[in-house]
Amino acid sequence: MEKSVSYSTKDWDDVPDVPLLHVSYLIHILLPRRHFGHDRLLIKKTQKILERLSYVKEFIPDKLHIVPVGSKLEGCGIPVAVRLTDEPYIEYMSDFDVMLVRDEFSTLTKEFEKDGTKMSVFIETAQTHPGYGRVRFASTVKHGTNMTNNTLIHHGGQSDEYYLNFSAIMREQADMMATHTNDGLNYNQHGPAITADDPVPMTLERLKTTKLIYPLDCIFAIPCNSWPECAIPWIKRKRTNDWL
């Protein structure tokens, strides 16, 4: 007979109001394994995403690379559902997430590397909300470049510092994607992302001649080669039952 699993009241999760020991069981019951896991990485669909965004590289510097991320790529996306209306149609329950990574802005969380090398841009976290930062230009770049009339760069006012203007960058990116595509999708800026979705409902009749086009969220990103100090506690904190 198997030894019973020890139970502690500390293992109780107040949000779903169930013990953590039961969560895995509930997941297996409610979310069939055939829809999830590494065997559902959707590699072919990931390749299609890269093909859909191949035109982006024509209008962005060569240092851009496209990185699909998120639950859909990891095989944990929610499958599509069919709405049983007068004319049944397919509803997308989750979308694909993609990072548009601009390598020319490779940065650190500090202005200087360990060897004393000065970064041209770095992430400034002073006077920001935890987990957020500003991409700031170093003084050597600021005084050596004409930044005043560049709409993609924001001036800090009294601080006399210059930062990347991500809102302007995303607007420019959204306009470019909407202007230079003829795939029939809607491209809009939604918060920090550019969304692309099919405006025509995917009815069961239409599905006979048209492939599914999953909604897409594109995020402008820059690589950071150091771990943010505000996230260090996440590495060191105790894991209850090996949960992250």
119 near 111, Cβ under 8 Å?
A: yes
The confidence score (pLDDT) of residue 10 equals 67
For residue 152, give the DSSP letter.
T
Q: pTM (2 decimals)?
A: 0.67
Alpha helices in 15-79 (DSSP H): 20-30, 43-52
Give the pLDDT of residue 78: 76
pLDDT at 204 (0 to 100): 83
Q: Which domains, ranges and CATH numbers included, belong to the chain? A: 16-237 (3.30.460)
pLDDT score for 35:
54
pLDDT of residue 33: 57
Give 67-104 as a DSSP string.
EEESTTTTT-PPPPEEE-SSS-EEE-SS-EEEEEEEGG
Divide the 244 residues of the chain into consecutive groups of 10 and give the mean pLDDT of each group: 57 72 70 54 66 66 76 73 85 86 80 72 83 80 58 76 84 79 81 87 86 85 82 84 72
